[in-house]
Each structure stands twice: as C-alpha cells, then as structure tokens.
Amino acid sequence: MSQSVEAVRGEAAVKMSGARLQQFFMEISSRYKPDQVTFVCIGTDRSTGDALGPLTGSKLLECGFPHVIGTLPEPCDARNLETRLKAVPQGQVLIAIDACLGHPSSVGHYLVLNGALRPGQSVGEKLPAVGDYSLAAVVNVHGPKPYWTLQVTSLHQVMTMAAEIAGSAAAAFGLASEH
C-alpha cells in the first residue's frame, strides 16, 4: 500500500474523481501503445483494502493489456516487488497502481502523478519508488492503525475502484472493457 499521500517525490499529486480518471490514461495513451506499457499493480489479496492492486491487475488483463504485474493469482507485494520489477524489459513505461489511505474527503478519489509512488510508506515499509506514472486509490481514511483500517475497508469500495481504473484505462487505450 502506498503512502497516505498528497505528495510523491516532492511533487504534488493531482486528486481526481473516477469521472476524470480516463483523462489521466488518455495523456499516457497519446504517447505510448498498450504493448509499451507495463502496469505494476501493488498489493495483496490477503487484506481487503490492499487488494485493490491485484483486483485491478486481473481486470486489466481481462481488458486485454499485455503487460500486467500483480494480479489475484500472482500478487505483487512487499515480499516480491523488487524481484518482479527486475523482470520488466527495459524500455517499458511503468504505470504503478496502489491503494492508499487518506483524508476523509479523499476517500473514493484517486491521486495521480506523472512520476513514481512509494509503496508501503503508510504501514512503515521501505520499498523502492515505482512508476513513470502512478495512481493511488484512496480506499479508506488514514488513522493510527493502518493495518486494521485496511482489514475493515469496504470490499465494495475496493472492487468499484478497481473496475473504474481498469475501465478507464481500457477506454483510453482503445481496448474492450470487461463490463
């Protein structure tokens, strides 16, 4: 899970609703074809809130994206992130997708950035920055017990956001959405 961010790498992330999410992906698709992009969907299927990454990754594959790291059958998490990143062919553009905790007014929104995100910061992990572009989905409120908060995060919220991300990306890149 990424930091409870309003800034990544010293740059301000842009908060947007799902209705504007396709614009973020349109900017990327105007520069790159689907086969030049690798989605790195970070998270685990063992925590409701942190399952956003693997759920999104599985949906992106269903939409026809050829390069996706982090799916429900093969999550990309703190244990294997660095190894999985080493397997990405050079020249690929990375789009990092992760869940995060944030301000109550940000829940259900997305924080996007033309730059990397740092997964695991809100739960004390020290992992490498990931992505040429990044998207953090604010799945719940940041508080004093982030692991507990992730466990009680609404599955409906997470599944809705995963579908919205995959659908927006598929539409922007001209691929079929699974719904």
Q: What domains are there in the chain, each with its CATH number?
A: 7-173 (3.40.50.1450)
User: Is the pLDDT reported for residue 129 higher than 60?
Assistant: yes
pTM: 0.90
* Of the listed ranges 7-11, 39-43, 114-118, 123-127, the one predicted with least confidence: 7-11
Sequence-ordered alpha helix ranges (H) in 64-154? 81-86, 146-151
Give me Rg for the CA atoms of the chain: 14
User: Is the pLDDT reported for residue 57 higher than 70?
Assistant: yes
**How many percent of the chain have pLDDT more than 90?**
76
The pLDDT confidence band at residue 122, using thresholds 50, 70 and 90, is low
- What's the whole-number mean pLDDT along residues 43-54? 94
74 versus 13: the higher-pLDDT residue is 74
- Provide the edge-to-edge strand list for the sheet that holds 68-69: 14-16, 110-113, 133-141, 93-102, 37-41, 68-69
Q: What's the mean per-residue pLDDT of the chain?
A: 90
User: Is the pLDDT reported for residue 176 higher than 80?
Assistant: no
pLDDT at residue number 6: 40
Distance of alpha carbon 130 from alpha carbon 96, whole angstroms: 6
